[in-house]
């Protein structure tokens, strides 16, 4: 038996350990090869033990959330994939604070804030990711970001569970210390302000209406493909280079918003990555701006 599989079965029931799981079913781009081994942890202890088992077996380990900011290459993922989702998604509200495990959806977190008339997370109501991934990437939209309201996070750092303050998290535009040091965020605590539930709800409706109006939500994607370059807007640069609608296979620069690359029909990860590279080359040649991607790219190249 695969030594990693054997180690995992010491603390995971066989029915919770998936082999050859298609990663396209766990990413919002709907692309990606198969994971060698995959499971949904129920606790921070399982996450720590899974990572330790992979390290002991000399195999890579990928910890992910909703896959909303991820491209998995067509060759799939070697080793272990742990998906933080519903089994690890507890939310607790106390006065003006919310504690949330990493697998909870950001939309559910924003909904809990609304339910308790707490303002400060309206911007997150339409973001498709999980709290863990959102904190790692310092997710934000419409002038708000998670670092505005985060007070601390529980982080798995070098095999130890530690509590990091917002200052120690060192969060910036689409980055954080856990991202740079390859740590796993297990939970987060947010401090909000008391507000009026009807006003909070109206703000959420208004922001989500703007999303529907401006963004290509009818196609699979990973949200904004590129970071905002200083002094520019990525979508405007891409549109100015005449790339709106450009296709590679089933991947397309959105005709609705050029800052999004979308899967318009059976795209492969290879199609998406080739299209990203073409866009980057064209914008660099025309405007001298090097576009950086917001999305993470993981996994293996397919065998030829």
The span from the CA of 6 to the CA of 268, in Å, is 32
174, 176, 177, 187: the active-site residue: 174
Reply yes or no on whether 19 is catalytic.
no
187, 221, 224, 254: the active-site residue: 224
The span from the CA of 212 to the CA of 41, in Å, is 33
The span from the CA of 104 to the CA of 88, in Å, is 7
Our CA dihedral for 8, 41, 221, 224, rounded to 10 degrees, sits at -110
Distance separating the N- and C-terminal Cα atoms of the chain: 27
- Quote the distance between the C-alpha of residue 214 and its chain's center: 20
21, 46, 122, 294: the active-site residue: 294
Reply yes or no on whether 174 is catalytic.
yes
The span from the CA of 292 to the CA of 234, in Å, is 9
Reply yes or no on whether 177 is catalytic.
no
The span from the CA of 218 to the CA of 3, in Å, is 42
Active-site residues, by number, are 174, 224, 294
């Amino acid at each position: 038996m695969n030594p990693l599989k054997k180690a995992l079965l010491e603390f995971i029931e066989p029915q919770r350990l998936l082999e050859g799981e298609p990663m396209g079913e766990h990413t919002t781009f709907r692309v990606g090869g198969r994971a060698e081994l995959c499971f949904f942890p129920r606790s921070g202890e399982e996450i720590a033990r899974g990572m330790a088992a992979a390290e002991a077996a000399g195999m890579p380990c990928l910890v992910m959330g909703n896959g909303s900011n991820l491209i998995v290459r067509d060759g799939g993922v070697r080793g272990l994939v742990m998906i933080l989702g519903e089994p690890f998604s507890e939310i607790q509200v106390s006065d003006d604070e919310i504690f949330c495990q990493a697998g909870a959806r950001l939309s559910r977190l924003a909904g809990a804030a609304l339910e308790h008339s707490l303002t400060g997370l309206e911007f997150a109501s339409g973001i498709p990711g999980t709290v863990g991934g959102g904190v790692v990437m310092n997710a934000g939209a419409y002038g708000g970001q998670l670092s505005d309201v985060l007070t601390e996070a529980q982080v798995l750092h070098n095999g130890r569970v530690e509590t990091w303050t917002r200052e120690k998290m060192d969060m910036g535009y689409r980055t954080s210390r856990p991202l740079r040091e390859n740590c796993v965020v297990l939970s987060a605590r947010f401090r909000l302000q008391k507000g009026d539930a009807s006003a909070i709800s109206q703000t959420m409706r208004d922001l989500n209406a703007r999303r529907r109006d401006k963004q290509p939500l009818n196609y699979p994607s990973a949200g904004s493909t590129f970071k905002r370059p200083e002094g520019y807007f990525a979508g405007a640069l891409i549109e100015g280079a005449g790339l709106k609608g450009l296709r590679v296979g089933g991947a397309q620069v959105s005709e609705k918003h050029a800052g999004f690359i979308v899967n318009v029909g059976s795209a492969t990860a290879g199609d998406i990555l080739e299209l990203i590279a073409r866009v980057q080359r064209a914008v660099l040649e025309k405007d001298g701006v090097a576009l950086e991607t917001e999305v993470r790219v993981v996994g293996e190249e397919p065998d030829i």
